[in-house]
Amino acid sequence: MIRIGILGYGNLGRGVESAIRQNPDMELVAVFTRRDPASLKIRTEGVGVYSVDDVLSFKDKIDVMILCGGSATDLPVQTPLYAKDFNVINSFDTHARISEHFADVDRAAKEGGKVGVISIGWDPGMFSLNRMIATACLPEGQNYTFWGRGVSQGHSDACRRIEGVKDARQYTVPVEDSVNRVRNGENPDLTTRQMHTREVFVVAEEGADKEKIDEEIRTMPNYFADYDTTVTFISEEEMKKNHAALPHGGFVIRSGVTGFDREHKQIIEYNLKLDSNPEFTGSILVAYARAAFRLFSEGQTGCKTIFDIAPAYLSPLSGEELRAHLL
């Protein structure tokens, strides 16, 4: 049994908890939180909730610690910190800071003789893996990444910070015409606006200036200004009824050419349709936690990304079983 700890118990932590149940070779040992442990009720019977302050007392009881905090402030600090004492894995997704984060985790993990796996999930994660392999197999071509239709939690949060907004949900939507052109192998150059639209559903506070909210959302720099955005005001009941789930997905397309005269189009598409974004991310984290433990068991140390891990490490099946049933 591979003994797992979860640090941070939000949507992602719960996704990891439910994924562990689907993997008979893994068991959840403890959940760590910065909140009052007594305030937190988890779903797995017989498993304790502890303060993050007690984490070191689990040094020999946990094989891999899955870090489920946020990329903005939690993971950059927590990951190198805990990599000294635990094999760790995270879903760090701030693309611009990955190099720095890799170096930090690599140093700490090597110091502790542990393995740290970073940026695991679907983007970064499965999408990166597919971009990378497809690029290596079709060196001449273009990559396209479309997200959605799905809920972006970062964009939803940004809307919630606007005055007069009680609740908000933002959907990222690929532009169908552009998707079709890419799938046809046209290799178009697409602007940000041509790739995705954004749909926002807002519950306004009573008496709020809806016109102003609409304007403020649609012109928000980075988040919305470069997109065609529609804002729809709905009731609190409607929000609960129709927008409680966290679906997401998207697709990575490599559109390349082969042949002595580059005369043949070759199109690779990796496509996800997810009813639950955090549960899918949690499931991937758990599979890569298995890999982290195995790499550690072989004596490897330091930071690894999805590019560095041979796929066989993800599966509970032996090499022989994999060759017989999945090759």
The structure tokens listed for 200 are 């926002």
Q: Which stretch binds a second copy (CB under 8 A): 30-38, 81-89, 216-224, 257-265?
A: 257-265
Q: Which stretch binds a second copy (CB under 8 A): 98-106, 147-155, 211-219, 235-243?
A: 98-106
- Is residue 9 close enough to count as binding a second copy by CB under 8 A? no
CB of 245 to a second copy, least distance (A): 8
- Is residue 19 close enough to count as binding a second copy by CB under 8 A? yes
- Is residue 131 close enough to count as binding a second copy by CB under 8 A? yes
Q: Which stretch binds a second copy (CB under 8 A): 136-144, 154-162, 193-201, 232-240?
A: 136-144
Looking at beta carbons only, is 59 or 325 nearer to a second copy? Answer: 325
- Is residue 275 close enough to count as binding a second copy by CB under 8 A? yes
Q: Which stretch binds a second copy (CB under 8 A): 54-62, 119-127, 150-158, 222-230?
A: 119-127
Looking at beta carbons only, is 94 or 194 nearer to a second copy? Answer: 94
- Is residue 105 close enough to count as binding a second copy by CB under 8 A? no
- Is residue 82 close enough to count as binding a second copy by CB under 8 A? no
Residues 6+ apart with CB under 8 A from 39: none
Looking at beta carbons only, is 198 or 248 nearer to a second copy? Answer: 248
- With CB under 8 A as the contact rule, the residue among 58, 147, 227, 270 that binds a second copy is 270
- With CB under 8 A as the contact rule, the residue among 166, 193, 210, 273 that binds a second copy is 273
- Is residue 306 close enough to count as binding a second copy by CB under 8 A? yes
CB of 41 to a second copy, least distance (A): 13
CA–CA separation, 109 and 113 (whole Å): 6
Beta-carbon neighbour count of residue 95 at 10 Å? Answer: 12
Looking at beta carbons only, is 44 or 230 nearer to a second copy? Answer: 44
| Binding residues for a second copy (CB under 8 A) | 15, 18-19, 21-23, 43, 95, 98-99, 102, 119, 124, 126, 128-133, 135-140, 183, 185, 258-260, 263-276, 279-280, 282-284, 287, 290, 305-312, 314-316, 319-320, 322-324, 326-327
